[in-house]
């Protein structure tokens, strides 16, 4: 645990008692603060009370009397589409609002760091798609190379649950826009921006607010090194903002599909090969085509970002390459769950938006595509470049018929439920094809989360294949 620093003997309110909220309350108490807790869910309140935390309904009159800080869990809106009532009450009471990420950066440095030969480092990864894979891959590279590394944030453990890093240790954080938007302290040593595509727009008041939340990791944090995907205009803008010139190698530009060159530091993937280019010459190259855990151009972008972050930490190219080969990928992200009769079955349930689903479709030449769910804003038009790879679509979800109408030119069968879709896909799949779950939609119409949806797909595939 990272004890929260700076609030000894003071009262801090914690709103939302899920994983991050309850860990924040524990870390506050460990650091000598008094944590007042609240959650609208009675079961969450009971769990906090069982650990000895005092409960207070913060939205009531006088709820913030004596409170020095409010810590808000990431799932709770603080501005758009409307401020949570407790957050608004904190504003009115003049109480600063923060989250566990801000507490983490505020509290990370310990007195014993003065005795370390190599100070600990923090790598923070944000972006729309690929954050989890990139973060896990960086962590895998570091541990494979013998470095002490911990993975936390939006993946793995809560940021305040990890152990204080030791001499030369690295903390790898995946940070969502919800987390970067509110944190009052953001000071990573290496900051990574993967890409940007429309997502969570209601929560950020539009695309500009969404990008602004991501950008805070760089503009507020002042990282020593920035790894920035430049395949979208926002990434090119951010790289330009963080750089003092073309030769400024504090910014490592990353691309999947575009050759980058110049006097600075670039990492790009083209035709299945990753290339590192620095100071006007090629430094290293890796053949990604045989890396089983990183299929497709979108994963090659993840590989470039992870490679660049590892190089910024001093890991040698051949060490990174060896780690790539042993990386098995993450559940629900281009995860091969079965192979039978020349057909691969791939779970990409995390592809909850159009951009992620498009990248999954483009990773495989012949796809039997299981898609559908709770559609997001913006429609399905962005999927069109992937349609040539689709042999047939099997549409699930309560709005399956409407979803199918948004796939012009694609043979689509309305299946509604996962069992029907998987059964039909198994029956019709031919050798050399891929049965791919890439929903391009949220899961909440039929499942609690994308993990549950992916697990159901994997279970139905194994049952359908006889084991």
* Parallel, antiparallel or unpaired: strands 335-340 and 343-347: antiparallel
Does 88 have pLDDT greater than 80?
Answer: yes
Residue 271: partners with Cβ closer than 8 Å, 6 or more residues away: none
Distance CA 143, CA 426 (A): 38
Tokens of 218: 């760089």
Would you call 282 helix, strand, or coil by DSSP? strand
Positions at the binding site for ATP: 127-133
The whole-number average pLDDT for the span 205-228 is 95
> What is the rounded average pLDDT for all residues in the chain?
94
Distance CA 229, CA 266 (A): 10
Q: pLDDT tens digits for 8-41?
A: 999 999 999 998 999 999 999 999 999 999 999 9
The whole-number average pLDDT for the span 1-6 is 94
Q: pLDDT tens digits for 356-378?
A: 899 899 989 999 999 999 988 77
Q: Is 94 exposed, middle or buried (0-12, 13-18, 19+ CB in 10 A)?
A: exposed
For residue 96, give the nearest of 140, 64, 58, 122 by alpha carbon: 64
Q: pLDDT tens digits for 37-83?
A: 999 999 999 999 999 999 999 999 999 999 999 999 998 999 999 99
Cis-peptide into 168, omega within 30 deg: no
Domain spans of the chain? 11-98, 109-326, 335-464
| Strand extents, DSSP E, 321-419 | 335-340, 343-347, 367-371, 390-396, 412-416
DSSP-assigned states of every residue in 44-64: HHHHHHHTTPEE--TTSTTTT
CATH number of 335-464: 3.90.190.20
CATH T-level assignment (fold) for domain 109-326: 3.40.1190
Q: How confident is the model at residue 221 (pLDDT cuts 50, 70, 90)?
A: confident
Would you call 181 helix, strand, or coil by DSSP? helix
Does 112 have pLDDT greater than 80?
Answer: no
Q: How many residues comprise the chain?
A: 467
Positions at the binding site: 127-133
pLDDT of residue 206: 94
pLDDT of residue 97: 98
CATH of 11-98, one of 3.40.1190.10, 3.40.50.720, 2.60.40.10, 3.40.50.300: 3.40.50.720
For residue 417, give the nearest of 354, 370, 368 by alpha carbon: 370
| Least confident piece of the model among 118-127, 168-177, 349-358, 409-418 | 349-358
Q: How confident is the model at residue 264 (pLDDT cuts 50, 70, 90)?
A: very high
Q: How confident is the model at residue 436 (pLDDT cuts 50, 70, 90)?
A: very high
pLDDT of residue 219: 93
More confident residue, 333 or 266: 266
Does 467 have pLDDT greater than 70?
Answer: no
Q: Please name the helix (run of DSSP H) or strand (run of DSSP E) that holds residue 192, with its range, or none.
A: strand 190-193
pTM of structure: 0.86
Distance CA 112, CA 77 (A): 37
CA dihedral 37, 42, 43, 47 (to 10 degrees): 30
| Least confident piece of the model among 14-28, 238-252, 260-274, 285-299 | 285-299
Does 129 have pLDDT greater than 90?
Answer: no
Q: What's the DSSP call for residue 224?
A: S
The whole-number average pLDDT for the span 385-400 is 96
């Amino acid at each position: 645990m990272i004890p929260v620093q700076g609030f000894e003997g003071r009262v801090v309110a914690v709103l939302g008692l899920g994983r991050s909220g309850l860990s924040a309350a524990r870390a506050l108490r460990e650091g000598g603060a008094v944590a007042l807790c609240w959650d609208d869910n009675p079961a969450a309140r009971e769990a906090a009370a069982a650990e000895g935390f005092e409960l207070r309904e913060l939205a009531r009159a006088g709820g913030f009397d004596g409170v020095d800080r409010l810590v808000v869990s990431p799932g709770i809106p603080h501005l758009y589409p409307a401020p949570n009532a407790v957050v608004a009450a904190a504003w009115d009471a003049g109480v600063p609002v923060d989250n566990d990420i801000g507490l983490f950066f505020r509290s990370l440095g310990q007195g014993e760091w003065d005795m370390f030969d190599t100070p600990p480092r923090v790598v923070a990864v944000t972006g729309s798609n690929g954050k989890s894979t990139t973060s896990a891959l960086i962590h895998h590279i570091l541990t494979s190379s013998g470095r002490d590394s911990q993975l936390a944030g939006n993946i793995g453990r809560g940021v305040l649950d990890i152990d204080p890093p030791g001499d030369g240790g690295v903390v790898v954080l995946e940070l969502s826009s919800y987390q970067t938007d509110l944190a009052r302290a953001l000071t990573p040593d290496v900051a990574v921006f993967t890409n940007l595509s429309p997502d969570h727009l209601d929560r950020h008041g539009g695309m500009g607010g969404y990008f602004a939340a991501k950008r805070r990791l760089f503009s507020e944090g002042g990282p020593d090194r920035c790894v920035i995907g430049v395949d979208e205009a926002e990434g090119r803008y951010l790289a330009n903002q963080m750089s003092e010139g073309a030769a400024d190698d504090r910014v490592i530009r990353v691309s999947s599909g575009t050759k980058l060159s110049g006097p600075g530091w670039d990492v790009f993937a083209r035709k299945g090969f990753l290339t590192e280019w620095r100071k006007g010459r090629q430094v290293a190259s890796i053949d990604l085509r045989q890396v089983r855990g990183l299929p497709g151009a979108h994963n090659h972008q993840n590989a470039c970002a992870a490679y660049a972050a590892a190089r910024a930490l001093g890991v040698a190219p051949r060490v990174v390459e060896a780690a790539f080969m042993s990386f098995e990928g993450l559940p629900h992200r281009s995860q091969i769950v079965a192979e039978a009769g020349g057909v691969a079955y791939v779970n990409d349930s995390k592809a909850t938006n159009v951009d992620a689903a498009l990248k999954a479709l483009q990773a495989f030449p012949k796809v039997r595509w299981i898609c559908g769910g709770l559609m997001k804003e913006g429609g399905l038009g962005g999927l069109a470049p992937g349609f040539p790879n689709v042999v047939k679509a099997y549409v699930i979800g309560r709005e399956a018929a409407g979803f199918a109408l948004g796939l012009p030119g694609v043979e689509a069968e309305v299946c509604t439920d996962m069992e029907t879709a998987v059964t039909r896909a198994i029956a019709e799949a031919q050798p050399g094809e891929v049965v791919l779950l890439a929903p391009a939609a949220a899961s909440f119409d039929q499942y609690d989360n994308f993990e549950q949806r992916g697990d159901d797909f994997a279970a139905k595939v194994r049952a359908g294949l006889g084991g």
